[in-house]
Amino acid sequence: MIDPGEVRPGEHVGRVPIRVRYAETDAQAIVYHSNYLIYFEVGRTEWVKSTGISYRDLEARGHALVIAESHLRFLAPAHYDDHLVIETRLVELRTRSCTFAYRVLREGEDDRLVEGSTVLVSLGPGKTPVPIPEDLAEAMRTLAAL
């Protein structure tokens, strides 16, 4: 798993609030593990949108960023009706891929409930790997202070 490391000076850390819905929990009212990947997607989508280029814009141009790898580490449970914060950071930007790191916190607390990462690959109109569009890559590089 990617070590999220320290936040770099000037780096953008996306923070998205989530309220745990009943449908996201198991019989013990604990968030079901696969829902954290959805939470990561919410955080990542908002992080990318903060570059000024949304996923919708990217897809309209025939490009997509798709998950190639994901890692989750569960540290403590979240429960029904908890208020969570999903923190998202871009930790690596390569020509055809990028890696995001995530932390899930209970709102108002510093303790991590879940941490993880995803690696995304850039696909072009033919659904084959292509370089991340330069305008997006530059905006991501700037926002992440890479």
> Active site includes 26?
yes
Buried b (16+ CB within 10 A) or exposed e, 26-59: eeeeebeeebbeebbbebbbebbeebebeeeebe
Give CA–CA dist 144/79, Å, rounded. Answer: 31
Helix runs in the chain, H state only: 35-49, 55-60, 134-144
Contact 49, 55 (CB under 8 A): yes
- Sign of the dihedral defined by the CA atoms of residues 109, 113, 119, 124, in that order: negative
Place of tokens 């009706």: 81
Which residue out of 26, 57, 81, 135 is catalytically annotated?
26
Give CA–CA dist 141/145, Å, rounded. Answer: 6
Q: Which sequence positions are flagged as catalytic?
A: 26
